Structure 1
Amino acid sequence: MTIHVFAGPSLSGSSVLELAGVCPHPPIAHGDLYRLRPGAGDAVLIVDGVYQHTAPVRHKEILDLYAAGVPLYGTASLGALRAAEHQGHGVTGLGTVFAWYRDGRLISDADVALTHGDAEVGFRAFTQAIVSILGVTDSLVAVGRLDPAEASKVVELARSLHFTTRTNANLLASAGKRGLAGPMRLVVDVLRGDRLSDVKRTDAEDAVRGLLAENAPAPPARDVEVPVTTWRKEWSLQHTPATADPEGPTRRQVLACAQLFLPDFPDRHTAHVLAHLRPEYPEVGGDTFLPAWLDALSPEELVRRGILAEGEPATLTKHDRAIRVLVRTFRRRSGRLVYDGIPPELIPDLAALTEQSTRLLRLSNQAVQLNPKFHPGDIPADVLDTTFAALWRTGELATHVLDRGFRSLEEFREQARPYFIAARAFVAMSERPAQAA
């Protein structure tokens, strides 16, 4: 059995991450559980997680993994918070911090929040969390070194500081202004250095050792049904690896590769929509797929809404115009996604597309390594648009991306950024013979 431990500052420098049977991961973020490939009998322990500069781990992705039969545990920090939120529904809580949330002593997400470094500095904490201060004041009061009233004032003062500014120095400076320098010095001295007295660290280490010794509480019965929502489908598509290699492209990236680089994808997409139109929308009648609501929209209105290009009303028959409208506005119920998975029509090409996606994404990674100042997210939208318009040889990018199955220009840009270097290379190669002539 392997324990997949998502941890950062709570276990910074801890030897428990080196124990046999432990597979350490960085603090958990949205999508990490979709990327995880646990083996039979493995368990997941969530300790720390990120939530400001990236989305936090979502409740439904936790439920998704639990419903698949993987035991999940939470402790110490974000793990304790998620465990309290999932009591009886997917996560087993461990430790003191979890008990504080469960019993109502803690109610705020911010009580476990702190700032910390990245992997290069071992996720070292830079500020103090409220739960860490509570743990120390409790222990000092228990041994008679701190008056209960002073302990409450120390915690109240700490709560008045935003977690990003709750450094030892700031805590001491603020305490000095309120006549709490002595009590705060006691607390800060305990929390310095190796943080062996930090309740987060204690909870996390106890949880790891308990799971390895198989003496942790049994997870609840697996009677959890995860609603198949649009967001669940989208998150799964975005983050699930296309192959057994968790470092390889995701299923969404492989689909995007097809949308961006297959010359015939607009035709494939049109066929896909027409094949799935009636199953999704049985009310669409007639062999010509001409729903009544189309008659209420004039060609000028369709142009204004960006569904038709400027010159299309004059060049398309009424039937062809209707087909274009249906293809460009098609959404899976409940109305957000065009694709909620890799379509069956692409399965025969999936291996080749995955290989191509891997190769093209590698170009972007190499560009970042060669130029640390380059990042796909910084590419201006107009540069991205111009490059792919040249690749597709279209003067109507806004409607062409709809023909390729993107729901909007914004979604196209999001999916196209990692492939920009490859697209620019293809455009350069296509222009080379003309320049030579």
Structure 2
Amino acid sequence: MSENTKPLAKALIFAGTSISHEDAAKVLDATYWPPISRGDIEKAILQGYATIGIIDGIFFSRAAVAHKEIIRAIKEGITVVGGCSMGALRASELDVHGMTGVGQIYEWYRDGVIEDDDEVAVATNPDTFEPVSNPMVNIRETFKAALKLDIIKDDEFRRITELAKRTHYTERSYFGITKGASREGIIPEDKANELLKFCIENERNIKREDALLVLEKIKQILTE
């Protein structure tokens, strides 16, 4: 730990997009900061946090948290846990250096099932950090659920998922994708409307599920 610092009792969590600070605080009593960006780890080290959780982070609008920042924190004895979004990306790259990864998305990145940053990226409200688009990891799993219920067929699932992947992450929405699928002749309009209704009412929110797993993992660490 850095000189003249004393570890705080609470962990520090970077979140706000995949799960709100209010909802997260219901699960874990901790300090919550906005999605992580370059330089935030240094601030956390200086403030003496002994446990850091990375859920959400800045991808493209500002410099993302660097690998070397996290490695430095780990070398100073800080426990760093990641999952869900930026946390899953960095954990999949740095678990060999001691970062702890949790959740489905972390495992997908670790195992090479997904590779692109845009799989978890969303457009956000600049004031609240709330998402205003849907992440690809959620979209794909929601379409898989629709496939299992025979709302769409195998080829339709493949083509709609490809359409979603081609769409820029800032413009991905169930409304836009289903309407685009109808416009391109992938599915008829009535099926597009049925699929949209299903997605709105039954979204597989993988990112929120993994955010909760990060919080639960840190809660476990703090009570050990």
Provide the TM-score with structure 2 as the length reference.
0.82
Aligned match of 2:4? none
Please state how far the C-alpha of 1:144 moved relative to its aligned partner.
5.5
For residues 136 and 166 of structure 1, what CA distance do their matches in structure 2 show? 13
2:119 counterpart (111, 118, 130): 111
8 Å Cα contact 1:83-1:92 kept in structure 2: yes
Please state how far the C-alpha of 1:127 moved relative to its aligned partner.
0.7
Equivalent AA in structure 2 for residue 204 of structure 1: A
The answer on 1:162 being equivalent to 2:174 is no
Please state how far the C-alpha of 1:171 moved relative to its aligned partner.
1.7
The answer on 1:199 being equivalent to 2:211 is no
Aligned match of 1:266? none
What is the aligned residue count? 209
Please state how far the C-alpha of 1:173 moved relative to its aligned partner.
2.1
8 Å Cα contact 2:15-2:33 kept in structure 1: yes
CA root-mean-square deviation: 2.5
Equivalent AA in structure 1 for residue 163 of structure 2: L
8 Å Cα contact 1:49-1:57 kept in structure 2: yes
Aligned match of 1:24? 32
The answer on 1:211 being equivalent to 2:218 is yes
Flag structure 1 segments of 5+ consecutive residues without an equivalent: 192-196, 219-437
Name which structure has the greater RCO, CA cutoff 8 Å, separation 6+: 2
For residues 20 and 160 of structure 1, what CA distance do their matches in structure 2 show? 37
Equivalent AA in structure 2 for residue 62 of structure 1: I
8 Å Cα contact 1:151-1:183 kept in structure 2: no
Please state how far the C-alpha of 1:38 moved relative to its aligned partner.
5.2
The answer on 1:73 being equivalent to 2:81 is yes
8 Å Cα contact 2:82-2:90 kept in structure 1: yes
Q: Per-residue CA shift, 1:71-117, capped at 9, x if unaligned?
A: 11111111101111112113211101111111111011111111011
Q: Per-residue CA shift, 1:192-225, capped at 9, x if unaligned?
A: xxxxx41000100122023213399x9xxxxxxx
Going from structure 1 to structure 2, the CA distance change for 1:209 and 1:203 (only over 3 Å counts) comes to same
Give SS of 2:101's match.
Answer: strand
Larger radius of gyration: 1
Q: Per-residue CA shift, 1:371-408, capped at 9, x if unaligned?
A: xxxxxxxxxxxxxxxxxxxxxxxxxxxxxxxxxxxxxx
8 Å Cα contact 1:154-1:183 kept in structure 2: no
Please state how far the C-alpha of 1:135 moved relative to its aligned partner.
2.6
For residues 169 and 11 of structure 2, what CA distance do their matches in structure 1 show? 30
Equivalent AA in structure 2 for residue 88 of structure 1: V
Give SS of 1:9's match.
Answer: coil
8 Å Cα contact 1:154-1:184 kept in structure 2: no
Give SS of 2:115's match.
Answer: coil
Equivalent AA in structure 1 for residue 135 of structure 2: A
8 Å Cα contact 1:62-1:90 kept in structure 2: no
Q: Per-residue CA shift, 1:165-194, capped at 9, x if unaligned?
A: 113332232122133325741334434xxx
Aligned match of 2:199? 187
Flag structure 2 segments of 5+ consecutive residues without an equivalent: 1-8
8 Å Cα contact 2:18-2:207 kept in structure 1: yes
Aligned match of 1:34? 42
For residues 2 and 145 of structure 1, what CA distance do their matches in structure 2 show? 46
The answer on 1:84 being equivalent to 2:92 is yes
Please state how far the C-alpha of 1:62 moved relative to its aligned partner.
0.8
Deviates more, 1:29-38 or 1:150-159: 150-159
Aligned match of 2:177? 171
Give the structure with the larger helix fraction: 1
Provide the TM-score with structure 1 as the length reference.
0.44
Please state how far the C-alpha of 1:157 moved relative to its aligned partner.
1.1
Going from structure 1 to structure 2, the CA distance change for 1:189 and 1:171 (only over 3 Å counts) comes to farther
Going from structure 1 to structure 2, the CA distance change for 1:173 and 1:138 (only over 3 Å counts) comes to closer
